[in-house]
Amino acid sequence: MIFARLFFSFFKLGLFTIGGGYAMLPLIQEEVQYYGWMAPEEFIDMIAIAEMTPGAIGVNTATFIGFRQAGFLGAVVATTAIALPSLILVVAVSKVLDRFREHPLVGGMLLGIRPVVAGLIASSALFIAEAAFREIGTIGLTGIDPVAVIMAVVSAVLVRRFQAHPIAIILGAGVVGLILF
């Protein structure tokens, strides 16, 4: 019974939640409270753990709740259930796009979407850069930390020009952070 409950709860969340993992959290909390899966304090701790681990917070939270309720198999069921609606949608859309890729309307639509996607990614990058450049330690009235800017530029050059692996850069930045800050 617990596996069916986990599957249908998280499948429903994956199907009807729009806006990413953080948009899912209040709905996940409702399910947790409705079924009495854990105390509110435990749920908050679960979110903190889910944020610290790699991956989407909604998927991580589902995995942790599934594991807490039914062990490894519960984690697999909850994770599969929350990801399955997106997987089905992506496969369906890709089939449609493959079939009609050469159609002028679809080609035009894709050409229109590409720059917008780049703009959305750039917007996120600027948002992150703003926080990163101001968080370490600012100089003068600009509020921009020159060390953070230099670290960002060096990391971009290492990736783009020298094909350095991002994990190596992150580890190196951690060492630099320990030394400088």
Distance spanning both ends of the chain, measured CA to CA: 52
Q: Residue 27, exposed/middle/buried by CB under 10 A (0-12, 13-18, 19+)?
A: middle
Question: What pLDDT shows up at residue 125?
Answer: 79
pLDDT at 7 over 80: yes
pTM, to two decimals: 0.60
The pLDDT of 98-113, averaged and rounded, is: 84
pLDDT band at 55 (very low <50, low <70, confident <90, very high): confident
Residue whose token pair is 């199907």: 15
pLDDT band at 143 (very low <50, low <70, confident <90, very high): confident
pLDDT at 129 over 90: no
